[in-house]
């Protein structure tokens, strides 16, 4: 049941994000959003499992996971800025949006 809910939330978040923000139409941005989604979800799940974060409230773990995806997006754009690609703030935005979706999805799965 949890896996079905997670899959539904991930698919819905990707579709709704593209509907809300037309800048996410490019394939590259969709890849950034997917990378953020994986980063946010994996970080949120890891924080749930770590004994050191058991005292944290669920929203704190969710915010930390979304922040991790933001850091990944900013690091990728810094790498692009150094001459390894085409830097674009919209790509970092898409990674952050995906991270928020992934973190919230895992948070909802853990609650049910």
Q: What pLDDT is stored for residue 29 in this prediction?
A: 83
User: What gap in Å lies between CA 33 and CA 44, rounded to an integer?
Assistant: 16
Delimit the domains of the chain by residue range.
2-111
Over its length of 112 residues, how does the chain's per-residue pLDDT go in tens digits? 455 555 555 555 555 555 455 555 567 788 899 999 999 999 999 998 899 988 999 889 999 999 999 999 999 999 989 988 888 888 899 999 999 999 999 988 888 7
User: What gap in Å lies between CA 5 and CA 89, rounded to an integer?
Assistant: 31
Q: What pLDDT is stored for residue 21 in this prediction?
A: 56
Q: What pLDDT is stored for residue 1 in this prediction?
A: 47
Dihedral, 23, 29, 32, 34 alpha carbons, nearest 10: 90
Q: What pLDDT is stored for residue 74 in this prediction?
A: 94
């Amino acid at each position: 049941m949890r896996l079905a809910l997670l899959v539904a939330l991930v698919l819905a978040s990707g579709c709704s994000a593209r509907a809300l923000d037309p800048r996410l139409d490019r394939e590259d941005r969709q890849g950034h959003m997917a990378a953020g989604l994986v980063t946010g979800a994996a970080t949120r799940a890891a924080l749930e499992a770590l004994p050191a974060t058991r005292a944290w409230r669920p929203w704190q773990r969710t915010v930390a996971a979304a922040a991790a995806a933001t850091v990944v997006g900013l690091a990728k754009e810094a790498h692009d800025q150094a001459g390894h690609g085409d830097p674009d703030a919209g790509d970092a935005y898409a990674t952050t949006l995906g991270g928020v979706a992934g973190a919230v999805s895992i948070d909802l799965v853990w609650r049910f």
